[in-house]
Amino acid sequence: MAKPTLNDYLGQMTDVDEVDLLHLAQLVSETDLGDEGHIRQLIAQVADVACVDVDRRQEDELVNAIMNREVPQDFSMLSHIFDKNQR
């Protein structure tokens, strides 16, 4: 039996398939994280793929954290932001 990959683990955690995860990774790598508009577009795309509602306050917090390089290294912190708003 093959050992699960990171993509397998992320797919199980998020219900996002590997193709969508790879697409999101590409979007992140190509996004100018110094441009607020680009960050907001990226947040909307990630939220759409993950089937998560992001209200304006959450979006503002994420934009601020990204622009100030204060993104938590612990993704459970980020998932906590969205748990109560899952569709």
* Distance between start and end Cα atoms, the chain: 34
Query: Is the pLDDT higher at 69 or at 10?
Result: 69
Band of residue 82 on the pLDDT scale cut at 50, 70, 90:
low
User: Is the confidence at residue 70, as pLDDT, over 50?
Assistant: yes
Is pTM, for the whole model, over 0.85?
no
Phi/psi-derived region of residue 53, left when phi > 0, alpha when psi is between -120 and 50, beta in every other case: beta
pLDDT at 87: 45
- Phi and psi at residue 71, to the nearest 5°: -70, 125
Q: Are 48 and 70 in contact (CB under 8 A)?
A: no
For the chain, what is the mean pLDDT?
A: 79
User: Is the confidence at residue 79, as pLDDT, over 50?
Assistant: yes
CA-derived radius of gyration, the chain = 13
